[in-house]
């Protein structure tokens, strides 16, 4: 084997190693994905009725050799009151949905690894948003980052629109979900990425004006929302985490190339 051929093979091996190194490093990025937290104000109607009654009786008698005297008295009272209205309270919790497709899209990139996150089960829901306290409690073992999401808007819409010049009505069920996400470093508690993402889904059915029962496919709508949300999350996460990790912005289907400040050029002669 000539020296030129040896040098050519050596150059090829160095090129392969340079491309593979950042990819291997990228697969070491371990992320825990929490269930989506939510907070909403709940209003409930109440009606309360109070009724009470009280009765008493008193009897006395006195008898002597020449007379007899007796008396009796009775009292009765009752009370009745009612009140009604509405009261509101803040309900907090986690949605056990919509994160499966986020995890799946992250795994498809080839450089995220997902670690299991423990669900929030404490009764004190005010601390649900204290992600640092949850990290300190060890709820995300082995994770370098925690992707924490909060639902900011979720809305179902059901509409019926007649089609012009026909006897057909278009029935549509749609769902739109918007969530805010933060990527938190479990060691430094820095926010490494922050963005909002949206998922959308829709089911449409046509029915003649003669009537009938319309059954909308809610499962299809939720599935579409979950998939589109996952794609939007990963698209934005890739851009921001690439900068945080020092990589060039990734291109789907290609190996992530590491960004270097100084580049050494080797000439083979």
Using one digit for the tens of pLDDT, what is the confidence trace for 18-55?
444 444 444 468 999 999 988 765 555 656 777 777 77
Q: How confident is the model at residue 3 (pLDDT cuts 50, 70, 90)?
A: low
Residue 233 reports pLDDT greater than 90: yes
Grade residue 264 by pLDDT with cuts at 50, 70 and 90.
Answer: very low
The SS3 assignment for 207 reads strand
Tokens describing residue 54: 């009280």
Q: Are 54 and 120 in contact (CB under 8 A)?
A: no
For the chain, give percent helix, strand, coil, nearest 5.
25, 45, 30
Q: Given this model, what pLDDT does residue 121 score? A: 80
Question: Where are the domain boundaries for CATH 3.40.50 in the chain?
Answer: 19-40+92-245
Dmax (CA) of the chain: 151
Partner residues linked to 170 by β-bridges: 161, 206
Average pLDDT over the chain, rounded to an integer: 76
At residue 19, the pLDDT reads 41
Architecture of the domain whose range is 19-40+92-245: 3-Layer(aba) Sandwich (3.40)
pLDDT for residue 213: 78
Tokens of 202: 């829709």
Distance, in Å, from the CA atom of 148 to the CA atom of 181, rounded to the nearest integer, reads 6
Tell me the H-state helices in the chain: 3-26, 100-108, 131-136, 218-245
For 156, the 3-state DSSP assignment is: strand
CA 102 – CA 106 distance, rounded (Å): 6
- Cα angle 133, 192, 120 (rounded to 5 degrees) comes to 30
What does the DSSP 8-state code read for residue 255?
Answer: P
% of the chain residues with pLDDT over 70: 62
Residue 139 and residue 176 in contact, taking contact as beta carbons nearer than 8 Å: no
- Greater confidence (41 vs 106) lies with 106
| pLDDT tens-digit series, residues 159-218 | 888 888 888 888 899 999 999 999 999 999 999 999 999 999 999 988 876 666 788 899
Per-residue pLDDT reduced to its tens digit, 80-105: 676 666 655 456 778 878 899 999 99
């Amino acid at each position: 084997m000539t020296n030129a051929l040896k040098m050519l093979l050596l150059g090829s091996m160095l090129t392969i190693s340079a491309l593979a190194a950042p990819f291997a490093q990228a697969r070491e990025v371990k992320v825990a994905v929490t269930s989506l937290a939510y907070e909403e104000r709940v209003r409930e109607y109440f009606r309360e009725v109070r009724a009470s009654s009280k009765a008493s009786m008193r009897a006395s008698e006195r008898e002597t050799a020449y007379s007899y005297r007796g008396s009796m008295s009775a009292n009765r009272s009752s009370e009745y009151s009612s009140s009604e209205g509405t009261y509101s309270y803040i309900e907090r919790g986690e949605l056990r949905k919509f994160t499966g497709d986020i995890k799946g899209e992250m795994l498809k990139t080839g450089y995220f690894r997902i670690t299991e996150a423990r669900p929030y089960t404490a009764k004190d829901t005010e601390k649900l948003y204290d992600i640092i306290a949850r990290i300190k409690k060890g709820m995300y073992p082995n994770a370098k980052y925690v992707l924490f999401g909060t639902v900011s808007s979720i809305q179902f819409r059901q509409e019926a629109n007649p089609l012009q010049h026909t006897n057909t009505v278009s029935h549509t069920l749609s769902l739109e979900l918007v969530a805010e996400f933060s990527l938190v470093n479990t060691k430094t508690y820095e926010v490494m990425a922050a963005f909002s993402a949206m998922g959308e889904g829709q089911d449409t059915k046509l029915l003649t004006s003669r009537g009938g029962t319309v059954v909308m496919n809610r499962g299809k709508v939720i599935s579409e929302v979950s998939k589109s949300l996952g794609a939007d999350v990963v698209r934005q996460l890739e851009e921001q985490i690439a900068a945080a990790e020092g990589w060039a912005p990734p291109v789907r289907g290609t190996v992530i190339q590491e960004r270097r400040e100084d580049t050494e050029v080797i000439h083979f002669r």
